[in-house]
Amino acid sequence: MSRENQFDVIIIGTGAGGGTLAYHLAPSGKRILILERGDYVPREKANWDPQVVNVDAHYNAKESWLDKDGKELHPHTNYYVGGNTKFYGAALFRLRKEDFGELRHHGGISPAWPISYDDLEPYYTQAENLYQVHGNRGEDPTEPPSNSQYPWPAISHEPRIQQLSDDFVRSGLKPFHVPVGVMLDEKNPHKSRCIRCNTCDGFACLVGAKSDAQVVCVDEAVKHSNVTLLTNSLVKRLDTDTTGREVRSVVVERNGSLETYSADIVVVSCGAINSAALLLRSANDKHPRGLANSSDIVGRHYMGHTNSVMMAISKCPNPTIFQKTLGVNDFYFGSKDFEYPMGHISFVGKLDAITLKAGAPAIAPNFTLELMAKHSLDFWLTSEDLPDPNNRVSIGRDGKIVLTYTPNNLEAHARLQAKLKEAMKQTNCAIHGHDCHQGLFGEGLFGRNFYVGQRIPLAGVAHQNGTIRFGDDPQTSALDSNCKAHDLDNLYVVDGSFFPSSAAVNPALTIIANALRVGDHLMKRLGASETEYEQNRVQDRELALAR
Ligand SMILES: Cc1cc2nc3c(=O)[nH]c(=O)nc-3n(C[C@H](O)[C@H](O)[C@H](O)COP(=O)(O)OP(=O)(O)OC[C@H]3O[C@@H](n4cnc5c(N)ncnc54)[C@H](O)[C@@H]3O)c2cc1C
Ligand code: SF4
């Protein structure tokens, strides 16, 4: 293999895991190759067009997978530089301290992680600084301990959300400001990169003001001459040496032909479903069940949360622009009448009539869809789904991804929905009193991404995790606690695959923090000079300040 195809590190995928790791390793001076199957999201007005984004699904991956019955499904996932963080809502939560231990749920056991919250805490702080998280420490009753404040103050509630927050407080709840990674400077609006618009959650940011992995990490990493990024480069297979202990070459489809690259360290970070698929497709004589899969764990324990969108319709309008500012975690670990964890309540971006119309949801009495969109509070509910070995990624006909999933722990979600209904009934507006709240609505689906009142279906793989779990026991996990494959000496995985349990808050900040943690381990392993690294980092900061 020619010298230019050999690297110290190859990172496959540029999302929350891969993009962050590339950023962290870039100042090491080591030769790093980043391979990304997608291109940059084109910057165009359509980025912020609900019809194009939510109805036409223009930016979604153009491929089909299969469900367990062999029926085609079109995954709601995105292949671009920055991965799914280009489209995420940037709600950047730490897992709760208790999520790292074993937790008993109504539907079974959520297993412990091989690392504790305290092991990850310093990296959560780094992650919040890097992704410029805006929040208020101390408001969320389930928040884990932290040694630092958020780097930016919380994004303020708009009046309708503030009114709801006050209502919730009056009824005894402890609503809080959701930690969000958008570059909004409310004190200096004229300088603020973020313009606080209504097309953030689910949309790519046209002005580069969302803290996504491309803007925050990959764009910075590629400024280093030792870092090479190849886009439109689909990794098809990993080949091992004759011992089977090392990945020897990475086979890439690029410009219509196959190319091979090699590195001392290979890091897979294609997202939990594609990473598992890549390892399974890389089966060989030494690894007949797929790479890193002597335990038969790879692809199993797929989790994606039980999520639903619920629209609360009020007589009072909701003119909120940026809605994703309020969260409620009072029921996260249970309540007096239900001793098991239920999950997390927050918001999706403000829904609009175009998105609603596409799916024709049930209409609230005396409302049109336009009126519903103008009067709705659009809640996002998340409950933990539990790892089940039969919920899995496998490879089916024509090499297609097969996603087999039977939902579990559903009582937790039903209880969470009931809790929200109860809380909404207690709201009491100054004009209409308790009558202001007309109910929680919508059966039926609308748009390709939103399903009101129902569980988000299988194709909604936004929170995918768990398919290549880490752990101390090679019989029950595929990765060790540094996210290195038990079966191979130079293969790591840093996307959402490593989660042994899914918890019930959004996953990205944990993926980012873990990538920083694994990055520190890799720096040591590569013998990277700390002095050179620090000098390069300082130079980076000076360059950034000069810009
Ligand atoms: C609409 C939406 C809203 C969301 N909102 C939130 C939120 O508010 N908060 C939150 O925490 N999370 C949110 N998420 C989830 C979050 O985006 C993901 O958890 C996170 O991006 C996962 O990071 P990852 O590194 O595991 O994978 P990804 O970010 O998916 O990155 C994987 C990358 O690998 C590339 N790739 C895949 N296969 C290959 C291959 N074979 N060869 C080369 N490259 C490959 C992909 O193109 C992609 O760039 C949201 C997701 C969506 C879709
Ligand atoms: S709210 Fe801010 S970060 Fe989000 S899309 Fe609009 S400008 Fe970008």
Q: Return the minimum-mean-pLDDT range out of 22-26, 99-103, 452-456.
A: 452-456
CA-CA-CA-CA torsion sign (119, 124, 126, 127): positive
Task: Quickly state the pLDDT bin for 367 (edges 50, 70, 90).
Answer: confident
Residue 209 Cα to ligand 2 midpoint, Å, equals 6
Nearest CA residue ID for atom 14, ligand 1: 88
- Cβ of 209 below 6 Å from ligand 2: yes
Nearest CA residue ID for atom 4, ligand 2: 200
Nearest atom in ligand 1 to the alpha carbon of residue 78 is 47
Q: Report how far residue 112's alpha carbon sits from residue 510's, in angstroms, rounded to the nearest whole number.
A: 15
Q: What value does the mean pLDDT take over residues 442-462?
A: 54
- Cβ of 403 below 6 Å from ligand 2: no
Residue 206 Cα to ligand 2 midpoint, Å, equals 8
Q: Counting beta carbons within 10 angstroms of the beta carbon of residue 5, is it exposed (0 to 12), middle (13 to 18) or buried (19 or more)?
A: middle
Q: Please report the DSSP string for 304-369 in residue order.
A: --EEEEEEEEESS----SS-TTEEB-TTSS-BTTB-S---EEEEPSPP-HHHHHHH-PPPPTT--H
User: Is the model's pLDDT at 277 over the cut of 50?
Assistant: yes
pLDDT in tens, 286-320: 999 999 999 999 999 999 999 988 889 888 999 99
Total Cβ atoms within 10 A of residue 452: 25
- Please give all residues whose beta carbon lies within 6 A of any atom in ligand 1, as ranges: 12-18, 35-38, 79-80, 83-85, 87-92, 202, 234-235, 269-272, 274, 278, 462-463, 495-496, 506-509, 511
**What would the two tokens of residue 267 be?**
């890091």
Q: Report how far residue 48's alpha carbon sits from residue 440's, in angstroms, rounded to the nearest whole number.
A: 27
Nearest CA residue ID for atom 8, ligand 2: 205
Task: State pTM to two decimals.
Answer: 0.96
- Backbone dihedral region of 146: left (phi > 0), alpha (psi from -120 to 50 degrees) or beta? beta
User: Is the model's pLDDT at 58 over the cut of 80?
Assistant: yes
User: Is the model's pLDDT at 72 over the cut of 50?
Assistant: yes
Beta carbons of 90 and 210 less than 8 angstroms apart: yes
- How high does pLDDT run on average in the chain? 93
pLDDT in tens, 235-252: 999 999 999 999 999 999
- Cβ of 48 below 6 Å from ligand 2: no
Residue 21 Cα to ligand 1 midpoint, Å, equals 14
Residue 374 Cα to ligand 1 midpoint, Å, equals 31
Residue 18 Cα to ligand 1 midpoint, Å, equals 10
Question: What's at 305, amino acid-wise?
Answer: H
Q: Which residues, other chains included, contact 429 with Cβ-Cβ below 8 Å and sequence gap of 6+?
A: 163, 167, 314, 315, 316, 436
Residue 83 Cα to ligand 1 midpoint, Å, equals 5
Q: Return the minimum-mean-pLDDT range out of 134-143, 180-189, 361-370, 390-399.
A: 361-370
Residue 349 Cα to ligand 2 midpoint, Å, equals 11
Residue to mutate (ligand 2; options 43, 59, 205, 324; most atoms within 8 A of CB):
205
* Three-state DSSP class for residue 200: coil
Ligand nearest to the CA of residue 350, numbered in listed order: 2
Nearest atom in ligand 1 to the alpha carbon of residue 236 is 41
